[in-house]
């Protein structure tokens, strides 16, 4: 290979690896000549070769740029290792593969764990953050330290009070999203080797926390309309040592139910009876389709056994990763673990959210989001009923932004997941929501994104794949 051909191959490889993206400028001829210790004529020859292949293009007075190329849907498919979607791998690998896939261009994000960020006031929050950073007052490395920014904590506690749950601001600890809150709380109440009771199916972030800390998940049957079965939970508590319980009582992911208040009270009393702490993931409570915000378990906590976790990542912005926990009697160890884990949470982001909560009509924003989610849930459900095969069952969420779908028993959701990726569609296979392969013919779909012809086409494509014989 000649020198100019070798240089052209190296630059082309760098572009294919994403070091230079479409529309970005590549090093100038003079800079490349110096960097690669080649003559200017050799570099020019290499660039002309790349230009003839359509890899780069020359712009007068500006230099050479990576040429934009139209991708087909199959070309836009993410590079996913097939081992990451087999039924033998752990839950975290499946989730990671799904999260990577939804980043690709043209993918239909039915598998996304996040709501459509276009619904959220990102620009306004960024304006607040930039203004705070420019001003340079009210924040520093020291103000990042736990428990968090006092004004944000006040706004969080005030919001609970407005929704009928009185909490003391001193109990609130700001975290890096709800994921950190959940991990800190679990680490505070259990140790490696301990058993943790979870719903079945359960949100995979719960399973990740248990897996990461070397604990064991004890799956408790969960009613699709009212939540974890108390009789089965009490039987488990009677017959084995359970270090903690982890639940979502408001718009559980993936089932979408809201646990009735009477059952919430009964659940708290049951865990008080056995002195078992409960970690409550309440990130979806703002997305109710009814008239009022449902109360959390925390509202019924008398002994400080409820470690409540939530976040703004789902309701306001995922970019800032600001969450919080109210860990009851475990506040001190959780605060210490927070300090040891990440030292603090960005004070600029905390202040920006606090300013938004004070001045920008958070409730008005949420009403629009709820209306969109409620409408999209009906549209997606109707589309599934129209195109999916007989025997398909669909959840009826009371809030949130996901549907839990039971397909005919012969359908293999993991095969469907893999084939759907090839068609540019992501989904959540049931395997993600269990410590074991308990839901082989279930999938979870996200309906928060703009519903349009592409969305309907995605549902149709999934129906074609199912009907084509994706089976076990």
Model confidence at 29: pLDDT above 90: no
Model confidence at 79: pLDDT above 90: no
> In the prediction, which pLDDT does 69 show?
55
Closest by alpha carbon to 469, among 388, 390, 410?
A: 410
Q: How far apart are CA 299 and CA 160, in angstroms?
A: 9
Model confidence at 173: pLDDT above 70: yes
Pick the CATH number of 82-118+364-467 from 3.30.460.10, 3.40.50.740, 3.90.1150.10, 3.40.50.261: 3.90.1150.10
Q: How many CB atoms lie within 10 A of CB 133?
A: 12
> In the prediction, which pLDDT does 354 show?
93
> In the prediction, which pLDDT does 187 show?
96
Closest by alpha carbon to 35, among 46, 24, 23, 43?
A: 43
Pick the CATH number of 138-360 from 3.90.1580.10, 3.40.640.10, 3.30.300.10, 3.40.50.2300: 3.40.640.10
Query: How far is the CA of 303 from the CAs of 220, 280, 325, 326, in angstroms?
Result: 23, 15, 16, 13
Q: How far apart are CA 297 and CA 229, in angstroms?
A: 15
Whether omega for the bond prior to residue 147 falls within 30 degrees of 0, making it cis, is yes
Report the chain's mean pLDDT, rounded to a whole number.
Answer: 88
Query: 350 and 155 in contact (C-beta within 8 Å)?
Result: no
In angstroms, how far is CA 365 from the centroid of its own chain?
A: 20
Confidence of residue 318 (pLDDT cuts 50, 70, 90): confident
Q: How far apart are CA 198 and CA 220, in angstroms?
A: 6
* Range name among 19-23, 113-117, 286-290 with the lowest pLDDT average: 19-23
3-class DSSP state of 351? helix
Query: pLDDT (tens digit, 9 = 90+) per residue, 251-275?
Result: 999 999 999 999 999 999 999 999 9
3-class DSSP state of 422? helix
Model confidence at 98: pLDDT above 90: no
Fold designation for 3-66? Arc Repressor Mutant, subunit A (1.10.10)
Query: pLDDT (tens digit, 9 = 90+) per residue, 203-240?
Result: 998 998 998 899 999 999 999 999 999 999 999 999 99
- pTM of the predicted protein model: 0.80
In percent, how much of the chain has pLDDT > 90?
Answer: 61
Q: What is the 3-state secondary structure (H, E, C) of 279-308?
A: EEECCCCCCECCCCCCCCHHHHCCCCCEEE
Tokens of 379: 């549209």
Q: What is the mean pLDDT of residues 151-155?
A: 93
Q: DSSP secondary-structure letter at 25? A: B
> In the prediction, which pLDDT does 283 show?
96
The string of DSSP codes covering 165-228 is: ----GGG-EEESHHHHHHHHHHHHH--TT-EEEEEES--HHHHHHHHHTT-EEEEEEEETTTEE
Domain segments of the chain: what residues?
A: 3-66, 82-118+364-467, 138-360
Query: pLDDT (tens digit, 9 = 90+) per residue, 238-254?
Result: 999 999 999 999 999 99
């Amino acid at each position: 290979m000649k020198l100019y051909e070798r240089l052209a191959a190296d630059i082309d490889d760098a572009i294919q690896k994403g070091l230079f993206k479409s529309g970005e400028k590549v090093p100038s001829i003079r800079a490349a000549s110096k960097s690669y210790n080649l003559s200017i004529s050799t570099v020019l020859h290499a660039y002309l070769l790349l230009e003839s292949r359509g890899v780069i293009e020359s712009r007068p007075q500006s230099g050479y740029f990576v040429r934009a190329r139209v991708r087909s849907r199959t070309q836009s498919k993410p590079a996913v290792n097939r081992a990451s979607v087999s039924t033998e791998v752990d839950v975290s690998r499946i989730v990671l593969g799904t999260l990577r896939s939804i980043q690709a261009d043209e993918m239909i994000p039915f598998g996304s764990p996040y709501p459509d960020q276009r619904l959220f006031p990102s620009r306004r929050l960024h304006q607040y953050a930039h203004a705070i950073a420019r001003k340079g007052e009210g924040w520093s490395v020291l103000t990042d330290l736990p428990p968090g920014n006092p004004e944000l904590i006040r706004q969080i506690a005030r919001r609970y009070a407005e929704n009928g749950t009185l909490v003391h601001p001193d109990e609130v600890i700001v975290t890096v999203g709800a994921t950190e809150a959940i991990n800190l709380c679990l680490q505070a109440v259990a140790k490696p080797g301990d058993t943790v009771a979870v719903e079945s199916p359960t949100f995979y972030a719960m399973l990740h926390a248990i897996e990461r800390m070397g604990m064991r998940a004890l799956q408790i049957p969960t009613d699709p309309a009212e939540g974890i079965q108390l009789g089965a939970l009490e039987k488990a508590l009677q017959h084995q040592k359970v270090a903690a319980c982890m639940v979502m009582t408001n718009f559980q992911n993936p089932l979408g139910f809201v646990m009735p208040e009477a059952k919430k009270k009964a659940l708290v009393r049951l865990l008080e009876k056995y002195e078992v702490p409960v970690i409550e993931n309440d990130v979806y409570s703002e997305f109710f389709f009814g008239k009022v915000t449902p109360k959390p378990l925390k509202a019924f906590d008398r002994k400080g056994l409820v470690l409540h976790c939530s976040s703004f990542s789902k309701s306001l912005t995922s970019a800032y990763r600001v969450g919080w926990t109210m860990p009851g009697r475990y506040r001190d160890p959780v605060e210490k673990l927070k300090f040891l884990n990440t030292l603090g949470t960005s004070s600029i982001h905390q202040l920006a959210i606090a300013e938004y909560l004070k001045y920008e009509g958070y409730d008005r924003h949420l009403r629009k989001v709820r209306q969109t989610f409620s409408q999209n849930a009906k549209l997606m459900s109707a589309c599934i009923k129209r195109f999916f095969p007989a025997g398909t069952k669909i959840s009826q969420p009371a809030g949130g932004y996901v549907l839990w779908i039971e397909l005919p028993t012969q359908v293999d959701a993991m095969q469907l997941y893999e084939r759907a990726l090839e068609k540019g569609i992501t989904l959540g296979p049931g395997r993600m929501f269990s410590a074991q392969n308990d839901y082989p013919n279930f999938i979870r779909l996200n309906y928060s994104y703009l519903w349009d012809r592409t969305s309907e086409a995605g549902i149709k494509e999934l129906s074609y794949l199912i009907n084509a014989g994706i089976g076990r």
